[in-house]
Amino acid sequence: MLVLENVYQKTLEHPSSMDLLGVGLVSMTEKCYNIVFSKGIKRSLIKLLIRFYRSEILEKKEGKRIKLLGAYTIYVHFYTIEDEHISIFYVSETNKLIKYDGLCSLSKQLLNSYCSNATFSEINQLCNRAIPSAKELSALLVINTTGHSLFTKVRKDKKYLADNFIIISGFISAILTFSNEVIGKNTGDTLQAINFENQQFLLTVKEGVIFAYLIEDFTKSKNIKRFMELLIEEFLDQYCDCLEDFNGEISQFSNFERVVDKYFDI
């Protein structure tokens, strides 16, 4: 792979700022592809875009495309470095005006960072100006339905929660089970929030996993609900095999912290 020296530091000094919903950085060869980094875009959409544009990307060395998809605008920038094809997909709302020069500049920065072997964290920092992380999350607990804590990240000022997350995880699992029996038995309704101090745990249960978000103010960030849903999708996609054959070993989930850091500033 071509390595561009001293590029990454320069890109951090002049990051682009724009109103995007999502970005995806993809590496392709004739035989396979790799989603190097994505933020704000469902992986299912990235895979759909790869299928749609792959033949053109492999055939041509460089190009830019714009496509309307319902209420969204898709931007595709692709490049060739030696035998490797690098594609960058952007998603914005159709009614949002995106500065195209800024978008092209961000693409070059991402390309240079990738070719300079920048880390996941460094690429995330570069994308953070275009798609800022939400700051309203105080804690995230990921729990299986038997009450085992799979992953936890807690803000430093929430010391009580950090010291007692195992007990609190078990309590959340137990009260959800109880509410499903008492509340949802006849109505199908499920418990969606639990008060905790002056905040709320917002609860989502999917594929046997409980996601508990401790939120300061759900109304402050327009992206927070979408980020919550994307985080759940990425967790289930990344750890589907581990969850199916869960043996009680939680260290296998520790790498999920970098996904949390993409979406939330805890």
> Does residue 32 carry a pLDDT above 50?
yes
The mean pLDDT value of the chain amounts to: 87
Query: What DSSP element (H or E) covers 51?
Result: helix 43-59
What confidence score (pLDDT) does residue 90 get? 97
Q: How far is CA 54 from CA 4, 26, 32, 33, 51, in A?
A: 25, 11, 10, 9, 5
What confidence score (pLDDT) does residue 187 get? 56
Mean pLDDT, residues 152-164 taken together: 93
> Does residue 149 carry a pLDDT above 50?
yes
Q: How many alpha carbons lie under 13 Å from residue 149 in its C-beta half-sphere?
A: 19
Task: Tell me which CATH code domain 137-263 carries.
Answer: 3.30.450.70
**27/78 Cα distance (integer angstroms):** 10
What percent of the chain has a predicted confidence (pLDDT) above 90? 63
> Does residue 8 carry a pLDDT above 50?
no
Structure pTM? 0.84
Mean pLDDT, residues 76-101 taken together: 91
Q: Among the listed ranges 12-21, 29-38, 78-87, 136-145, which one has the minimum average pLDDT value?
A: 12-21
Are the beta carbons of 113 and 81 closer than 8 angstroms? no
**165/224 Cα distance (integer angstroms):** 23
The three-class DSSP label of residue 92 is strand
Confidence of residue 2 (pLDDT cuts 50, 70, 90): very low
> Under CATH, what is the fold of the domain 8-128?
Beta-Lactamase (3.30.450)
Topology alike, domains 8-128 and 137-263:
yes
What confidence score (pLDDT) does residue 129 get? 83
> Does residue 13 carry a pLDDT above 50?
no
What percent of the chain has a predicted confidence (pLDDT) above 70? 89
Least Cα distance to 9 among 106, 152, 112, 142 occurs for 112
- Beta-strand (E) ranges in 163-253? 193-196, 199-206, 209-215
The residue ranking higher by pLDDT, 180 or 106, is 106
> Does residue 12 carry a pLDDT above 60?
no
Supply φ then ψ for residue 6, to 5 degrees: 55, 30
pLDDT digits (tens, 9 = 90+) for 185-230: 655 567 788 888 778 899 999 999 999 999 977 666 678 899 999 9
Mean pLDDT, residues 4-16 taken together: 43
> Does residue 14 carry a pLDDT above 50?
no
Instruction: For residue 219, count other CB atoms closer than 10 A to its CB.
Output: 8
In the chain, domain spans:
8-128, 137-263
DSSP string, 136-181: -EEEEEEEETTS-EEEEEE-TT-HHHHHTHHHHHHHHHHHHHHHHH
